[in-house]
Amino acid sequence: MTISEKIANQVLDAELQFQFSRSSGPGGQNVNKVNSKVELRFNIPNSQILDETEKATLLEKLSSKIDTEGNLIIQSQEKRSQIQNKEIAVRKFYDLLKKAFHKKKIRKATKPGKGAIEDRLKEKKALSEKKKGRRGEW
């Protein structure tokens, strides 16, 4: 199974760990009572689903979001509901994986066409004539 299939089928859900705490976001009086903040943890080195090359890629590309034990940490406290924050955190996780494994398209150098070259030269000639007219040579 390729990594894109793993991401699309959300196979990694089994290895996600969640921790809940009090949020600093919206909630009114509930803010002090309900643990609506969600912290998602995914241990990359101990993952049974990812192969070694995928683990290496994640550790390299997401190094700023990974702690010393190799945990990828994502937080969400946007909503008042713990369930909504959990869904947002999972979505962020899979978006991050998609971005990490996305291959950049290689740019191929091309030459401009004949029409484009002619248009550019005509534009240069017209600009040159305009400036020549400003000189005021009597």
Who's near 98: CB < 8 A, 6+ residues apart? 4, 7
Who's near 82: CB < 8 A, 6+ residues apart? 20, 34, 35, 36, 38
Query: What confidence score (pLDDT) does residue 106 get?
Result: 93
pLDDT by 10s per residue, the chain, length 138: 777 777 777 778 888 888 888 877 666 666 677 788 889 998 888 888 888 888 888 888 888 888 888 888 998 888 888 899 999 999 999 899 888 888 888 999 999 999 999 999 999 999 999 998 888 765
Please give the C-alpha separations between residue 108 and each of 42, 104, 114, 116, 117, in angstroms, as whole numbers. Answer: 37, 12, 19, 18, 19
Query: What confidence score (pLDDT) does residue 26 get?
Result: 63
E strand or H helix at 136? none
Query: What confidence score (pLDDT) does residue 27 get?
Result: 63
pTM: 0.69
E strand or H helix at 111? none
